[in-house]
């Protein structure tokens, strides 16, 4: 799966993949849900990318400790991106 793309999950829910990190050989995405007008909403989720044969799936992270850890990682990524923009 690629960043800056929209994926459709079960129930026809659509998410914009906003950020990606690899931790302990697992890929995680920070995603924002799209509303009924297909605009990015403030509702977000963290998904783990699961590979099954040739197919890829997203599994929502619900473990509170893992969500806290990954939220810190994504926040750190955002701060780094902002600092890089300031330097330009």
Is residue 1 situated within a structural domain? no
The string of DSSP codes covering 20-71 is EEEETTEEEEEEEEE-TTS-EEEEEEEEEEEEETTEEEEEE---HHHHHHHH
53, two tokens: 């044969």
Check residue 79 and give its pLDDT.
Answer: 81
Looking at the structure of the chain, the number of domains it has is 1
Is residue 75 situated within a structural domain? yes
Is residue 69 situated within a structural domain? yes
Q: Please give the average pLDDT of every successive group of 10 residues along the chain, which has 88 residues.
A: 91 94 96 94 95 91 96 88 76
Is residue 80 situated within a structural domain? yes
Is residue 82 situated within a structural domain? yes
The boundaries of the domain holding residue 30 are: 6-87
């Amino acid at each position: 799966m690629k960043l800056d793309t929209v994926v459709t999950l079960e129930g026809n829910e659509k998410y914009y993949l906003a950020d990606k990190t690899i931790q302990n050989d697992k890929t995680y995405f920070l995603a924002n849900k799209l509303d009924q007008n297909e605009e990015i909403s403030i509702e977000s989720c963290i998904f783990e990318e699961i590979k099954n044969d040739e197919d890829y799936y997203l599994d929502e992270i619900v473990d509170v400790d893992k969500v806290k850890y990954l939220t810190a990682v994504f926040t750190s990524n955002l701060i780094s991106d902002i600092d890089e923009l300031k330097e330009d």
